[in-house]
Amino acid sequence: MENNQEIPYKIYLEEQEMPKQWYNVRADMKNKPAPLLNPGTGKPITVEELSGVFCTELAKQELDDSTAYFDIPDDILQFYKMYRPAPLVRAYHLERALETPAKIYYKFEGNNTSGSHKLNSAIAQAFYAKHQGLKGVTTETGAGQWGTALSMACAFLDLDCQVYMVKVSYEQKPFRREVMRTYGAKVTPSPSNTTEVGKKILSEFPDTNGSLGCAISEAVEAATSQEGYRYVLGSVLSQVLLHQSIIGLEAKAALDKYDVKPDIIIGCAGGGSNLGGLISPFMGEKLRGEADYRFIAVEPASCPSLTRGKYVYDFCDTGAICPLAKMYTLGSSFMPSANHAGGLRYHGMSSVLSQLYDDGLMEAVSVEQTAVFDAA
């Protein structure tokens, strides 16, 4: 869409313009995401049941599909201000290089010490764990973005942090591994002999490079077998999309400031945290009939959960100890090719995004890594 003002290269909101609430897109969805199921009973899981795995406040956020806005606690707002608002960048030079009439904007979330958008949810999850009086949290990480962000958040709040890192990434990315340790986290290559589920996976697949699904199983077992610990997850979950909505809320505020209405909103999609966060407020407008946008999820051809997966109930983890989620999935036993095992190689897709995609409200394409590099 056109506008008459000159758009700067980077639109920065003022700190006082930073959103003070997260937006829960589920509240505006007619077809709600299917409920998480208790793997023992096969029935929708309750806050009480889920609170054994997650902090209570996060379990509530996970299951709440009717509250549209959640206040961001002040401690989290003060933390956010170290690196937020993040800029919305107009890619003038790229437009020129492509000789395109399109006006290209991107939201830049790399401007924090952990290096990615993952910190938006890491500090929230660590905060609720601290607030509940817990000793620490466990998690998995692939390429290490989530693990790094969580380690940083836990160091800030003086919480113990135990990270199961997919083995191939643990070996390929020594610097990421050591950054987490520098923040005080305990980092274990997964699958490992430190958990029952890890031992079981290793006995069946002794040469495995690991996967996020395996590492999740180990992290969940570690959390539930230690007093004062809970499990946290960096993507896929609805609570994570809630926290990441700050990306979209800021992007929308920045565009509104210059009267820009986007036609198409595109994001890469692994588990869905980045894309879901970005599109949430725009999707909310579309769901309420206030505006229309095209949304496009871009996923890796080597792990095409939306474009090649099935929309069914599946385990979130390889060890099948997590709740069942209805999502586009390649199967919880999916093992990615060994070249990469990061977040973009997770077998399933956020149940929120899965439902939006199934309802035709969002499109999806998959691309080959090598084609992406060639284009760049």
Contact set with a second copy (CB under 8 A): 8-10, 12, 14-15, 78-79, 81-82, 89, 92-93, 111, 156, 175
Cα–Cα distance, 123 to 138 (Å, whole number): 14
Q: From CA 129, how far away is CA 58, in angstroms rounded?
A: 9
Nearest approach, Cβ of 286 to a second copy (angstroms)?
A: 31
Nearer to a second copy, 21 or 92 (CB): 92
| Residue 322 near residue 344, CB atoms below 8 Å | no
Name the nearest CA neighbour of 367 among 278, 268, 276, 272: 268
- Closest contact distance (angstroms) between CB of 9 and a second copy is 4
Specify the residue, 184 or 262, whose C-beta has the smaller distance to a second copy: 184
Amino acid at 234: G
Question: Checking DSSP bridges between strand 10-11 and strand 88-90, what pairing results, if any?
Answer: antiparallel
* 184's tokens: 């005080």
- Nearest distance in Å: CB 247, a second copy: 17
Closest to 191 in 3D by CA, of 167, 224, 161, 162: 167
Q: How far is the CB of 8 from a second copy (least distance, A)?
A: 5
Q: How many CB atoms lie within 10 A of CB 95?
A: 14
Give the shortest CB-14-to-a second copy separation in angstroms: 7
**C-beta closer to a second copy: residue 43 or 81:** 81
Q: What is the distance between the alpha carbons of residues 175 and 220, in angstroms, rounded to a whole number?
A: 25
Residue 275 token pair: 């894309």
Q: What ranges make up the beta strands (E) of 159-225?
A: 160-166, 186-190
Nearer to a second copy, 81 or 308 (CB): 81
What's the rounded Cα separation, in Å, for the pair 372 and 349? 21
CB nearer to a second copy: give 82 or 371. Answer: 82
Between 81 and 261, CB nearer to a second copy: 81
For a second copy, the closer CB: 33 or 142: 142
* Whether 230 contacts 129, CB under 8 Å: yes
Residue keyed to tokens 């490992």: 192
| Residues in Cβ contact with 268 at an 8 Å cutoff, skipping those fewer than 6 apart | 274, 275, 297, 298, 299, 344
Residue 82 or 264: the one with the smaller Cβ distance to a second copy is 82
The minimum distance between CB 81 and a second copy, in angstroms, equals 4
Closest approach of a second copy to the CB of residue 11, in Å: 10
Strand residues in the chain grouped as ranges (E): 10-11, 21-23, 69-71, 88-90, 105-107, 136-141, 160-166, 186-190, 229-231, 264-268, 294-300, 310-315, 324-329, 363-367
Q: Which is nearer to a second copy, 67 or 100 (CB)?
A: 100
Task: Tell me how far, at minimum, the Cβ of 6 lies from a second copy, in Å.
Answer: 9
Instruction: Report the residue number, 44 or 110, with the smaller CB distance to a second copy.
Output: 110
Considering the complex, what minimum distance in angstroms separates the CB of residue 303 from a second copy?
A: 23
* CA pseudo-torsion sign 35, 37, 43, 45: negative
**Minimum Å distance from CB 78 to a second copy?**
8
Selection from 124, 169, 129, 126 nearest residue 145 by Cα: 169
